[in-house]
C-alpha cells in the first residue's frame, strides 16, 4: 500500500506510550504506522532563519518538522490563520481583521512548506492535509508539479457563503481548496456550505455522489465526523478515579452536585454566556444555593492574539462578579481553573460530575462532549447539556440540546439535568454510547482515507487506460 504523508500545522509531540497524547494524534499516528509514512509540519519553534526539515524516525514513521521565523509566525499563524480565518469560520467576523501583508505571509508559508515537503515525497504517496492553516497547501504542491492524491480535512466549521465572503481573498481560497482530491468536513452542514458557495457563485456543480466539478477540477466532498475511542476513555476514567486530585475534588464537594466544563479558553466556546446562564439558575432556583458548583477548566491559548487576552479578563471578571453575588463562607458557586490537566485525569474529573456543560457558540465537532459521555459510569451517568452549534450535537441524541444564545433555556436545561432521574440518565447515556462506538476515531480516519485511496486508484486506472490506448494506437492493426 502507498505511504501516507500527514501534513498539519503542528506535528503532535508524541511520546509513544505516554497517556497524555491526545486522541486525535493517536488516531493519525495509527494510520501512519499501518502503511509507514511521514508526519510533516511546524515544530512549534521560532527560528532565526528558515532551514531544511529536521527528520526523526520512529519505526516506519518519520517526523519531519520545520521552524518558523518570527515574521512567518506573526503573519501566517498569529495573523491570517488565527486573527482572520478562525474568527470568521466560527461566525465571529466582528472579531476578524484582514491584513494584506498577513495574507501574503500565509500564502508564502504554505508555498515554503510545500517546497520543503516536495523533497520528501515519493511518486505513489498519498497526502492528508489538516485544517485551516493549510487551505492552499495542495495548490502550492500542484504548482511544483506534484500530482499525487491529496486530501484535506477541516477540523473547524465551514461558514455559509455570505460569511465566507467577508474574508477578502475568499475566491482565491476556495479555488485553492478545489486543488485537493477529497475535501472533508465535520458535518453535513459544513459540507453543504462549501457546495452552496460553489454552486451559487456559478463556479461549478455537484452530483448526487458528492463529486464536485469546480474550477476545472473534479473532487470529492464529504462529511467525516471525528470520533473518539469511547471504551478506552471509559477505562481510563475509571482507573484514574482514585487519583489524589480526583479524591480531593470529591471530598471538597461534600455531597454537592458538580457541573463540569472543559475547554481551551477561546471566544468560540461560549464561556461568558455559560457563566451567565449558571447565574440565571442561581437567581431563578435559589434552592440550589450551596448544593451545586460549576467547575470550569479552561487553560489559556493563543495569548499573543489580542482577542484572547480580552476573553481571559472578561471571564475572570464574570466569575468574580457571580461568586461575589452568591458565594457563602463554605461555598464557591464557580470554580474557574486556568490550567491544563493530564488527559486521563481529566476523564476521571468528568466522570465525577453530574452534569457535563458544553455550550460553544460554534464548534467544528467538540470532542469534550463525546469524552464526557464516554467517561461516565454507565450505572450512574451524568447528563449532558450541549450546544446545538457544536458538530457533536448531530451525533449525541441523548443530550439536552440548547441554544447557547438563550440564557433562560440553558439555565432550564441545567436544572433539568441536575434533577434528572437515574433511569432517564441511564437510557440517554446508552443512547449516546452506541453511536460513539459505531463512529469511533478509526471509522473517521478509515472512511476519509478510503475515499482518498479510491481517488488514487481511479487516477491510476485512468492513467493505465490512457497509456494502453496510446500504445494500442501506435501498434499496427492485427491481420484478420
Ligand atoms: P478544539 O477547539 O481544541 O479542537 P475540542 O474538540 O474540544 O476542541 O478538543 C479539545 C481536546 O483538548 C479534547 O480532547 C480535550 O479533552 C482536550 N482539552 C481541553 N481542555 C483541556 C485541559 N484543560 N486540559 C487537558 N486537555 C484539555 C478543534 C476543533 C473542534 C474539533 C477538534 C477535533 O475546534 O471542533 O472537535 O479540533 O477535530
Closest ligand 1 atom to residue 392 Cα is 36
Hey, CA dihedral for 97, 99, 103, 105, is it positive or negative? negative
Query: How far apart are the CA of 371 and the centre of ligand 1, in A?
Result: 10
Query: How far apart are the CA of 72 and the centre of ligand 1, in A?
Result: 25
Q: What is the pLDDT of residue 254?
A: 86
User: What element of type H or E holds 224?
Assistant: none
Cβ–Cβ under 8 Å, residues 289 and 282: yes
Q: What domains are defined for the chain? A: 4-227+440-468 (3.40.50.2000), 230-438 (3.40.50.2000)
User: What element of type H or E holds 412?
Assistant: helix 407-418
Give the other-Cβ count within 10 Å of 348's Cβ: 24
pTM for the whole structure: 0.94
User: Look-up: residue for cell 435559589?
Assistant: 286
Q: What is the pLDDT of residue 450?
A: 96
CA separation for the pair 116, 153 (Å, rounded): 21
Mind telling me the catalytic residues? 155, 363
**Residues whose beta carbon lies within 6 Å of some atom of ligand 1:** 22-24, 155-156, 226, 262-264, 297, 299, 340-341, 343, 346, 363-368, 371
Q: What is the pLDDT of residues 298-354, one digit of tens each?
A: 988 777 777 788 888 889 999 999 999 999 999 999 999 988 889 999 999 999 999
CA separation for the pair 129, 181 (Å, rounded): 11
Mutate to test the pocket of ligand 1, among 21, 81, 365 (most ligand atoms within 8 A of CB): 365
Mean pLDDT of the chain: 92
H helix and E strand count, the chain: 17, 16
C-alpha distances out from residue 340 to 142, 243, 269, 400, Å: 39, 16, 16, 27
Q: What is the pLDDT of residues 179-234, one digit of tens each?
A: 999 999 999 999 999 999 999 998 999 998 899 999 999 999 999 999 999 999 99
Q: What is the pLDDT of residue 50?
A: 85
Q: What is the pLDDT of residue 19?
A: 42
Per-residue pLDDT of the chain (480 residues; tens, 9 = 90+): 899 999 999 987 655 544 445 567 877 888 899 899 999 999 999 999 988 999 999 999 999 999 999 999 999 999 999 999 999 999 999 999 999 999 999 999 999 999 999 999 999 999 999 999 999 999 999 999 999 999 999 999 999 999 999 999 999 999 999 999 999 999 999 999 999 999 999 899 999 889 999 999 999 999 999 999 999 999 999 999 999 999 999 998 888 999 999 999 999 999 999 999 999 999 999 999 999 999 999 988 777 777 788 888 889 999 999 999 999 999 999 999 988 889 999 999 999 999 999 999 999 999 999 999 999 999 999 999 999 999 999 999 999 999 999 999 999 999 999 999 999 999 999 999 999 999 999 999 999 999 999 987 776 655 555 555 555 544 444 333
Q: What is the pLDDT of residue 25?
A: 80
Amino acid at each position: 500500500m502507498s505511504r501516507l504523508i500527514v501534513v498539519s500545522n503542528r506535528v503532535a509531540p508524541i511520546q509513544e506510550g505516554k497517556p497524555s497524547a491526545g486522541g486525535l494524534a493517536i488516531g493519525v499516528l495509527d494510520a501512519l504506522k499501518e502503511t509507514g509514512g511521514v508526519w510533516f509540519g511546524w515544530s512549534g519553534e521560532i527560528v532565526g532563519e528558515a532551514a531544511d526539515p529536521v527528520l526523526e524516525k520512529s519505526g516506519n514513521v518519520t517526523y519531519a518538522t520545520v521552524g518558523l521565523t518570527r515574521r512567518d509566525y506573526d503573519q501566517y499563524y498569529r495573523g491570517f490563520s488565527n486573527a482572520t480565518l478562525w474568527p470568521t469560520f466560527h461566525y465571529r467576523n466582528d472579531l476578524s481583521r484582514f491584513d494584506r501583508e498577513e495574507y501574503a505571509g500565509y500564502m508564502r508559508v504554505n508555498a515554503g512548506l510545500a517546497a520543503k515537503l516536495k523533497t520528501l515525497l515519493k511518486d505513489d504517496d498519498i497526502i492528508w492535509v489538516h485544517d485551516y492553516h493549510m487551505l492552499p497547501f495542495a495548490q502550492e504542491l500542484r504548482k511544483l508539479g506534484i500530482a499525487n492524491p491529496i486530501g484535506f480535512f477541516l477540523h473547524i466549521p465551514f461558514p455559509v457563503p455570505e460569511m465566507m465572503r467577508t474574508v477578502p481573498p475568499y475566491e482565491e481560497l476556495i479555488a485553492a481548496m478545489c486543488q485537493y482530491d477529497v475535501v472533508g468536513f465535520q458535518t453535513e452542514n459544513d459540507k453543504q456550505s462549501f457546495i452552496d458557495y460553489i454552486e451559487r457563485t456559478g463556479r461549478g456543480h455537484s452530483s448526487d455522489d458528492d463529486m464536485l466539478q469546480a474550477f476545472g477540477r473534479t473532487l470529492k466532498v464529504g462529511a467525516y465526523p471525528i470520533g473518539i475511542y469511547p471504551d478506552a476513555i471509559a477505562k481510563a476514567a475509571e482507573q484514574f478515579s482514585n487519583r489524589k486530585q480526583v479524591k480531593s475534588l470529591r471530598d471538597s464537594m461534600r455531597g454537592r452536585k458538580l457541573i463540569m466544563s472543559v475547554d481551551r479558553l477561546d471566544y468560540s466556546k461560549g464561556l461568558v454566556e455559560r457563566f451567565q446562564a449558571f447565574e440565571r439558575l442561581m437567581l431563578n432556583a435559589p434552592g440550589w444555593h450551596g448544593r451545586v458548583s460549576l467547575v470550569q477548566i479552561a487553560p489559556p491559548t493563543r495569548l499573543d492574539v489580542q482577542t484572547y487576552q480580552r476573553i481571559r479578563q472578561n471571564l475572570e471578571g464574570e466569575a468574580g462578579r457571580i461568586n461575589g453575588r452568591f458565594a457563602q463562607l463554605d461555598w464557591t458557586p464557580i470554580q474557574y481553573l486556568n490550567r491544563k490537566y493530564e488527559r486521563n485525569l481529566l476523564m476521571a474529573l468528568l466522570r465525577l460530575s453530574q452534569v457535563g456543560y458544553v455550550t460553544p457558540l460554534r464548534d467544528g465537532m467538540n470532542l469534550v462532549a463525546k469524552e464526557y459521555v464516554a467517561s461516565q459510569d454507565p450505572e450512574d451517568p451524568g447528563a449532558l447539556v450541549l450546544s446545538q452549534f457544536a458538530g457533536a450535537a448531530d451525533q449525541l441524541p441523548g443530550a439536552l440540546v440548547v441554544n447557547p444564545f438563550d440564557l433562560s433555556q440553558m439555565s432550564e436545561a441545567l436544572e433539568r439535568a441536575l434533577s434528572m432521574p437515574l433511569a432517564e440518565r441511564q437510557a440517554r447515556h446508552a443512547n449516546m454510547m452506541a453511536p460513539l462506538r459505531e463512529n469511533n476515531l478509526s471509522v473517521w480516519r478509515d472512511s476519509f482515507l478510503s475515499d482518498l485511496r479510491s481517488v488514487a486508484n481511479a487516477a491510476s486506472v485512468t492513467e493505465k487506460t490512457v497509456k494502453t490506448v496510446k500504445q494500442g494506437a501506435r501498434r499496427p492493426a492485427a491481420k484478420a
